C-alpha cells in the first residue's frame, strides 16, 4: 500500500466542507479585488475597497490590516497547492516591499502584523529573497519605536505625540514575532532583547492579578515608570476586551516559544483560563467579556478565531498533558461553533469567511461585520486542524 502524496492529501482535506467554503471565498475575492486591498471590515457582509486617503488611492496598501489578505492567500496555497493563491500573494509581497522601501504608513507597531504575513511567509515558504529584505527593513523600522528606559515598543503614532508617547497595547504581543525572526536571520541581539523586555513589561503590567487584561498601558517614556492601564476599544478601562484577551492567549504563547521564558507560558494559560471561564453557551465571546448570556451585546467572532489559534498553540506546547488536552478540546469546540453558527451559508452570501465580528464598538466602527483579521485567523485555525504539525508564519 503506497502513501498518499502530500499534495493529494492536502487537497482531500481542503475539500472538507468548512475549508472548501472558506477557500472558495478567498478565490472569489481574488477575482473581485485583484491586486487591490479590501477595507478592514465588511459593510452589510461585503468588503468595499479600502477608501482613498491622502497619497493612497482607493484600494491602496495602507493601515494595519492589509497583510491579512495575502496571509489568507498563503494559507490557501498551502492547503491546496493551487498557484492562483501563491501568485496573488507574491504580487502583494512585491507591493509590501515597495511600501517599506518608500516609507509609506510605517508609524505603527503593527509592522509586525503587516510584514510577518506579507513578507516572512513567502520567505519561509519559498525562500523569497526580496520578501526577506522587506521584512528586515520592516523590523528595523519597528525597532525605531523601542523606548528606553521603559523597555517597550510604542504602539501608535509619531513618537513625539504626547497623547501616544509611552503607550503600548496587548495586540503588540503579535508584532514581536517579526523581531524574533529578524534575530534568527541576523543574530543581532537588539531584536531579541526588545522582545524579552517588551513581553516582560506586558506580562507584569497589562495582565491583571485576576488574569484579565488591560487593552492598553502607559509608561513614562523618560523614566520608564509604569503609569496606568486603560482601554481604547473595550467597554471601559477595567473591563476585559475580548479580542485583547485573545491576543494575550496567542501572543504570550508565541513569545514563550520564541524565548523559552516559562513565565510567558503561564501568562498565556492565565489569559486562556479567564477567556474560557467567561464564554457564553455557544463559546463565541461577546465583544467584551463583561457581558454574559442574556445580553444583547454583539459577539466578536474574530476574538474567537484568534483564541482558537492560541489554544491550538498551547496544545502543541504541552502535548499529552492534561492542560494541553484541555486546550485542544476547547479550541475544537470554539472552532466547531464558528463553523456551525458564524460562517456564511452558503459561502457566497458574504465576502467574509466568518460573520459577526467587531472592530471598534465604542467608535461604532465595523460592528457585527466580517473582518480581515477574523477571516485570516479563522482560516489559520482550520489549517491547524487540517494539517497537524503545520508551521505558523509567526
Q: pLDDT value at position 271?
A: 98
What is the distance between the alpha carbons of residues 204 and 239, in angstroms, rounded to a whole number?
A: 18
The predicted-structure confidence for 241-264, as pLDDT tens digits, reads as follows 999 999 999 999 999 999 999 999
Q: What is the pTM assigned to this prediction?
A: 0.97
Q: pLDDT value at position 157?
A: 87
To the nearest whole number, what is the mean pLDDT of the chain?
96
- The residue-averaged pLDDT of 86-90 equals 98
What is the distance between the alpha carbons of residues 90 and 83, in angstroms, rounded to a whole number?
A: 10
- pLDDT band for position 130 (50/70/90)? very high
The predicted-structure confidence for 143-176, as pLDDT tens digits, reads as follows 999 999 999 999 998 898 998 999 999 999 999 9
- The residue-averaged pLDDT of 31-60 equals 98
What is the distance between the alpha carbons of residues 291 and 238, in angstroms, rounded to a whole number?
A: 13
Whether residue 5 contacts residue 330, with contact meaning beta carbons closer than 8 Å, is answered with no
The residues that are catalytic are 110, 171
With a pLDDT cut of 90, the percent of the chain lying above it is: 94
- Is residue 15's pLDDT more than 90? no
Q: pLDDT value at position 2?
A: 33
Q: pLDDT value at position 12?
A: 64
- Is residue 3's pLDDT more than 50? no
Residue tagged 499529552 (cell numbers): 320
Residue tagged 464598538 (cell numbers): 361
What is the distance between the alpha carbons of residues 310 and 308, in angstroms, rounded to a whole number?
A: 5
What is the distance between the alpha carbons of residues 254 and 172, in angstroms, rounded to a whole number?
A: 12
Q: Is 187 left (phi over 0), alpha (psi -120 to 50) or beta?
A: left
- Is residue 278's pLDDT more than 60? yes
Neighbouring-strand partners of residue 56? 53
**Cα 202-206-211 angle, rounded to 5 deg:** 115
What is the distance between the alpha carbons of residues 42 and 372, in angstroms, rounded to a whole number?
A: 8
- Is residue 5's pLDDT more than 50? no
What is the distance between the alpha carbons of residues 303 and 292, in angstroms, rounded to a whole number?
A: 15
Amino acid at each position: 500500500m503506497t502513501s498518499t502524496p502530500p499534495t493529494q492529501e492536502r487537497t482531500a482535506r481542503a475539500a472538507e466542507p468548512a475549508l472548501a467554503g472558506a477557500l472558495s471565498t478567498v478565490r472569489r475575492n481574488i477575482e473581485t479585488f485583484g491586486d487591490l486591498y479590501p477595507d478592514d471590515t465588511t459593510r452589510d457582509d461585503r468588503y468595499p475597497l479600502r477608501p482613498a486617503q491622502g497619497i493612497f488611492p482607493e484600494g491602496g496598501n495602507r493601515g494595519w490590516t492589509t497583510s491579512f489578505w495575502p496571509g489568507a492567500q498563503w494559507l490557501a496555497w498551502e492547503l491546496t497547492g493551487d498557484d492562483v493563491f501563491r501568485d496573488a500573494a507574491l504580487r502583494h509581497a512585491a507591493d509590501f516591499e515597495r511600501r517599506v522601501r518608500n516609507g509609506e504608513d510605517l508609524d505603527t507597531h503593527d509592522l509586525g502584523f503587516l510584514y510577518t504575513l506579507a513578507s516572512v511567509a513567502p520567505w519561509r515558504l519559498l525562500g523569497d529573497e526580496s520578501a526577506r529584505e522587506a521584512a528586515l527593513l520592516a523590523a528595523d523600522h519597528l525597532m525605531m519605536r523601542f523606548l528606553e528606559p521603559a523597555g517597550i515598543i510604542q504602539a501608535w503614532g509619531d513618537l513625539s505625540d504626547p497623547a501616544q508617547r509611552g503607550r503600548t497595547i496587548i495586540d503588540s504581543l503579535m508584532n514581536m514575532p517579526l523581531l524574533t525572526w529578524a534575530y534568527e536571520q541576523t543574530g543581532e541581539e537588539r531584536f531579541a532583547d526588545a522582545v524579552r523586555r517588551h513581553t516582560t513589561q506586558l506580562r507584569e503590567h497589562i495582565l491583571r492579578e485576576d488574569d484579565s487584561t488591560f487593552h492598553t498601558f502607559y509608561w513614562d517614556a523618560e523614566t520608564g515608570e509604569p503609569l496606568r492601564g486603560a482601554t481604547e476599544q473595550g467597554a471601559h478601562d477595567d473591563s476585559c476586551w475580548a479580542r485583547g484577551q485573545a491576543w494575550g492567549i496567542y501572543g504570550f504563547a508565541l513569545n514563550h516559544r520564541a524565548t523559552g521564558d516559562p513565565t510567558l507560558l503561564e501568562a498565556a494559560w492565565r489569559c486562556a483560563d479567564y477567556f474560557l471561564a467567561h464564554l457564553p453557551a455557544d463559546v463565541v465571546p461577546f465583544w467584551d467579556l463583561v457581558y454574559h448570556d442574556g445580553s444583547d451585546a454583539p459577539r466578536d467572532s474574530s476574538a474567537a478565531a484568534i483564541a482558537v489559534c492560541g489554544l491550538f498553540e498551547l496544545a502543541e506546547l504541552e502535548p499529552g498533558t492534561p492542560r494541553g488536552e484541555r486546550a485542544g478540546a476547547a479550541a475544537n469546540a470554539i472552532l466547531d461553533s464558528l463553523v456551525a453558527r458564524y460562517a456564511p451559508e452558503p459561502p457566497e452570501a458574504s465576502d467574509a469567511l466568518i460573520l459577526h465580528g467587531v472592530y471598534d464598538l465604542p467608535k461604532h466602527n465595523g460592528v457585527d461585520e466580517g473582518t480581515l483579521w477574523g477571516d485570516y485567523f479563522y482560516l489559520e485555525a482550520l489549517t491547524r486542524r487540517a494539517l497537524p504539525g503545520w508551521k505558523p508564519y509567526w
